[in-house]
Amino acid sequence: MRQAPWGGGKLEHVVVYREPGRFAGWPANYGIWLWGDEIVLGFTLGYIGNDNSMHLRDKARPFLPMQARSQDGGYTWKVSPAPCRTPGGRGLSADEHVIPELQVAPWLDGPEGPVPPPGGFDFTHPDFALMCTRSGLEAGARSWFYVSFDRCRSWQGPFWLPDFGAPGVAARTDYVVLNAGEALLFLTVAKSDGHEGRPLCARMSEGGRRIEFLSWIGPEPVGYAIMPSTVRLADGTLLSAVRRSEPEGSWIDLYRSLDGGLSWEYAGRPVRETGRGGNPPALTLLSDGRLCITYGYRNEPYGIRAVLSEDEGRSWSSPIVLRADGGNRDLGYPRTVERPDGKLVTCYYFNDHAEGERYIGATIWQP
């Protein structure tokens, strides 16, 4: 442990999954779920290679979906393949990381592909979880989802998500349960020019059988606005943090809805810099009413940071440095949950050395 730089409680860094030669990445693309001290985290697992991009991956070997489970509040973890049926046995939300021969997209219309959701799901079931996945990022991307009623020990699906009239849908997991038969989904779709991306709000009803466009979250950007992370306050207000990137830089914007997602207003910029290429937010509503955004920081010193709000997102703290020991900018994509004791567990992918393995880490901290 080491003392938190802002004078709060201690930070503890733990390893969720780490193996030499492996590339474990991008928890924000999959999800995190919490039941007391039981936490389940999704991520994808491939191999280190010599890719010339920022991701040191081997695109000629598969990336496959994994799950990590902790029964003790994030201190120890067991990792296994995600217990869900994937079209063609291929990866989920990882087509951009592999060669075409390993992608899931060609299998989507086959017998193992997604089917229309049957409805009848109880979103308020105490062991419910939902996971959204995708084939790509831009025009032509298609998306689907899975549901679980046993704390992610098994998943039903895949079930199609609609295209909402967009050129492509690049879904990550972000949802708010309204009642037993209704939930809101917050998704990214391709812009009108086919490039990523723009966020929207959709409503699931009839226990998931009907999924309909509800609203755009903000205007179509010049660059991209992607990967929303959303919470619902006690009074019903929705707040959605969005990853932004434009030629002048990368940051996180906040949007607010006072009418159940029918319309959105710009609510400020909680994070003014996330580093080169940007990083998605993980917005968490704490039990004491505060808000927390965790994110990867892709400028030097590379690491994981957070900001806090005590006034429902109207103002935010200066950045809190959780880690500043990253080997390069190939890190972040966090997910954060609050344990019953008030401590946060922030999970992310990380590297200690630019040429080393990418691993899944977690920081346990008191906000």
For the stretch 179-189, pLDDT in tens is 999 999 999 99
Can you read off the two tokens belonging to residue 132?
């959204």
Lowest mean pLDDT across 9-18, 27-36, 145-154, 229-238: 9-18
> What topology does CATH give the domain 2-326+340-365?
Neuraminidase (2.120.10)
Q: What is the CA radius of gyration of the chain?
A: 19
- Sheet of strand 143-148, all strands in order from the earlier edge strand to the far edge: 129-134, 143-148, 156-160
CA dist list (Å): 269 to 272, 274, 286: 6, 12, 20
pTM of the model: 0.96
For residues 270 and 252, the answer to whether their CB atoms sit within 8 Å is yes
Q: Give the start-to-end residue ranges of the domains of the chain.
A: 2-326+340-365
Please report which confidence band the pLDDT of residue 51 belongs to, taking 50, 70 and 90 as the band edges: confident
> How far does Cα 104 stand from its chain's mean position?
20
Residue 102 backbone dihedrals phi, psi, to 5 degrees: -105, 0
Q: How many CA atoms lie within 13 A of 261 on its CB side?
A: 25
For the stretch 199-256, pLDDT in tens is 999 999 999 999 999 999 999 999 999 999 999 999 999 999 999 999 999 999 999 9
